[in-house]
Amino acid sequence: MQDYEGVTAFLGEWGPFQRLIFFLLSASIVPNGFTGLSIVFLAGAPEHRCRVPPSANLSREWLNASIPRQVQGGREGPSRCRRYRLESLANFSALGLQPGRDVDLSQLELEKCLDGWEYSRELYLSTIVTEVRVCIFYAIGYMLLPLFAYFIRDWRMLLLALTLPGLLCIPLWWVVPESPRWLISQGRVQEAEIIIRKAAKTNGITAPDVIFDPMELQEMTSQKQQTHTILDLVRTKNIRLVTIMSVIIWMIISVGYFGLSLDTPNLHGDAYVNCFLSAVIEVPAYIIAWVLLRNLPRRYSMAAALFLGGCVLLFIQLVPPHLHILSIILVMLGKFGITSSFSMVYVYTAELYPTVVRNMGVGASSMASRLGSILSPYFVYLGAYDRFLPYILMGSLTVLTGILTLFLPESYGTPLPDTIEQMLRVKGLKYRHTSNSTRVSKDEEESPVILKSTAF
């Protein structure tokens, strides 16, 4: 069958129809910036200390001294996990003794926070932690998140405000058409032709009387449509290697992206400002990724972005502790590189898989990405043991992912494969001429560019 791009070339590349679909789908992505990273504020852990109940009957002096002081993150403050034994403090208070003068606090016995915690409400009026006691459109939504969180300090109302806009996306089910390319791959050619003619009408273009050759349609409808399963992603050597590498790359990129995003409250300075900066840096990252995808090979562009992000994160440990601003700049630069690679990997992965399994391939990779997002908070928690450890791990994994990217096939400047057979014809694989060698040679003459679509 004639190449899909050739059949639909009369529509143009960026007409009113394409713009409408683009902006409708883009608008649906904005709420993802709310909900995807809202946990930064919904479950933000404000400053807290052990609660001392009124029944302890302590004097004002002993009440103020009931929590031991300790250094956390370079700052001295009340302990979050321990308090002095209240029974002893009550006895000292009843005897009229003064803390520090009459009693050496360093010699007193400590106990856990048996009565819960008291939370500072300077940043948050209410978060999940305080109540449950557990210690370019996506970026726009992400940038709006700290704005919502700043003015809505209660986590329940914030969650409601962030999720309701998603209901506006429901009408898109009836507005956005199905992909004609996918319909063709499923044998639903007439439905695809209706959508293409509608697109031509929207663009003010007269569609040809015959879009798909009748003989080719008859040949397609006479053949039984083959059903593809998830096993097709690992059935052959070539597609299996692509799937394994894609899964690893997606997972590690997701660890870096969400790890840095969730770590913003731990950076020096205001949590709302840091979250906003983390969102703003994504805008130039997406723009640079778009420019690179249009002009340079996929492998080298994505690998360069990963190397940038990973190397910068590894360099953070060398920054002196008092240079807080420099540390934040490096974190944002690392976020820039990882965000650029994250946006590229969506396009790159979709180009590697043939149309018949493209959704499954991208879906499997996205599932691996969700696994990475599940693991990312644990990378952030490692900062409690060493504040540089999360950056060292994420930076090292990101650099290794950049190296792995260089082994992927190259898809820049080549037509998208429509069938698994087209994806199999890659550089480096040897085919033995059998009884169907005539058919193979004929296919090679009809679509020579496909043979160069990958680099294996």
Return the SS3 of 112.
Answer: strand
Q: What is the CA radius of gyration of the chain?
A: 29
Identify residue 315 by its one-letter amino acid code: F
- CA–CA dist 376, 363 (Å, integer): 20
The full set of domain ranges for the chain reads 48-119, 227-456
- Enumerate residues 6+ apart whose C-beta is below 8 A from 214: none
Alpha helices, DSSP H, located in 133-270: 138-151, 155-163, 172-175, 180-185, 189-202, 214-222, 237-262
pLDDT at 447: 39
Distance separating alpha carbons of residues 5 and 289, to the nearest angstrom? 24
pLDDT per residue as tens, the chain (456 positions): 455 666 677 777 777 777 777 777 766 666 666 666 656 655 555 666 677 777 777 777 777 777 777 766 556 667 767 777 777 777 777 777 788 777 777 777 777 776 666 665 544 444 433 333 333 666 666 677 777 777 777 767 777 877 787 787 788 888 888 877 777 767 777 788 788 888 887 777 777 777 766 666 555 554 445 677 778 888 878 888 888 989 999 999 999 988 888 888 778 877 788 888 888 888 888 888 888 888 888 889 999 999 999 999 999 888 887 888 888 899 999 999 998 998 888 888 888 888 778 888 888 998 898 898 889 888 888 887 888 898 999 999 999 999 999 888 888 777 777 777 766 444 434 434 333 433 333 444 343 333 333 332
> According to the model, what pLDDT value does residue 441 have?
39
Q: For residues 44 and 158, give the distance between their C-alpha atoms in angstroms, rounded to a whole number.
A: 12
Contact 384, 196 (CB under 8 A): no
pLDDT for 225: 54
CA distance 178 to 201: 17
Q: What pLDDT, on the 0 to 100 scale, is given for residue 72? A: 62
Q: What is the pLDDT of residue 255?
A: 92
Whole-number pLDDT of residue 38: 58
Q: Distance between CA 230 and CA 249 in Å, rounded?
A: 19
Structure tokens at 348: 């790159």
Give the span between the Cα atoms of 340 and 292, in whole angstroms. 10
d(C-alpha 121, C-alpha 47), whole Å: 8
* Token representation of residue 18: 């394409």
CATH class assigned to 227-456: mainly alpha
8 Å CB contact between 259 and 390: yes
